[in-house]
Amino acid sequence: MNTGAVVSIHLIPTAGGRAAAVPQARALPGRGLEGDRYGLGVGSYSNKPGPSRELTLIEIEALEGLKRDDGLELSGGDSRRNVVTRGVALNHLVDREFFVGEVKAKGIRLCEPCARLAELTDPKAHPGLIHRGGLRAQILTEGVIRVGDVVRPV
């Protein structure tokens, strides 16, 4: 696995709410990011058990490709993912452990785009992000994720 870096971090405090860019966020195992809708238990899918909503990541390269290929410009916050990365192939992290700064995580599954993303942004976001919509991960250790942190294998 190649290493990458955290470009931006986004918290959305309510289901359907707007993303706020933050310089850092505390990762809480079994919950999510402190201050984010899933960390608070108020996300649209918080009633579905499991660790796959604790941390979501997307590559800035995917967002750049969406603009290039589909003419749709989505910011990191618009993607509704928590962490935007550069230089790391997130699809390769499914079923693998990795670090985001000091926080250890495990890739659970791809974060494929859904109808909710298209509803909150643009219908082109759904087909444009298939297989490049990011990664759902479980937080394994508590810690702080910061903009500029390295994303690296265990």
* Paired tokens of 140: 């394994």
- Tell me which residue of 151, 154, 144 sits closest to 22, measured CA to CA: 144
Q: What is the CA angle 6-9-11, rounded to 5?
A: 160
Q: Of 44-48, 127-131, 150-154, which has the strongest mean pLDDT?
A: 150-154
pLDDT recorded at residue 129 = 85
pLDDT recorded at residue 1 = 64
pLDDT in tens, 69-99: 988 888 888 888 999 999 999 999 999 999 9
Q: How far is CA 122 from CA 2, 19, 41, 119, 149, in A?
A: 31, 16, 26, 6, 30
pLDDT recorded at residue 51 = 87
Number of H helices, E strands in the chain: 3, 11
Question: In the chain, what are the domains?
Answer: 4-153 (2.40.33.20)
pLDDT recorded at residue 148 = 98
Q: What DSSP element (H or E) covers 64?
A: helix 60-70
pLDDT in tens, 95-110: 999 999 999 999 999 9
* Paired tokens of 131: 């297989």
Q: How far is CA 12 from CA 24, 69, 72, 83, 148, in A?
A: 14, 27, 21, 12, 20
pLDDT recorded at residue 98 = 98
Of the chain, the percentage scoring pLDDT greater than 90 comes to: 62
Q: How confident is the model at residue 23 (pLDDT cuts 50, 70, 90)?
A: very high
